[in-house]
Amino acid sequence: MSVWRFFDYVGPSGHSVIEDWLVGNPSRRANLDAMLAYLAILPDWSKQPRAFKWLKGVKSKGLGEIRFECDRLPHRVFGCLGDSPGRFILLVGCCKQTTKYSGGALYFPPNAFELAAQRRDEYDDHRATVVERLLI
């Protein structure tokens, strides 16, 4: 039985931003669905650092990243806890590319952190809607 339920942030277009990110990429969808199904049955994600990590920093307060690989690239879905226990809100999906020379990481979209923080604030202030993501 699932401990967690996942909800997608709904953008101004009226569409799930996660669904928009997944369109046309069945491999990405399958890998995300598999990771969400795995996390859904775990009560404590902090013991799964390869699958989930809370982000650090002032702007990242309350944001976590669901981690998975697709086509040999690290992918992340940034999200936050919902308004009741066992709910996690998926705010933005992105790809991560580590750069060999700078030692840092690039995210696509490049403003993924800012988008996640903005959407978290909109959700927290009840200015955004979410739709439940059904797990297969």
pLDDT tens digits, one per residue of 1-39: 789 999 999 988 899 999 999 999 999 999 999 999 999
- Identity of the amino acid at 59: K
- Identity of the amino acid at 63: L
- Which SS3 state, helix, strand or coil, does residue 6 take? strand
In the predicted model, residues of the chain with pLDDT beneath 50 are none
pTM as predicted: 0.93
Closest CA to 112 of 66, 70, 71: 66
- Return the pLDDT at 101: 64
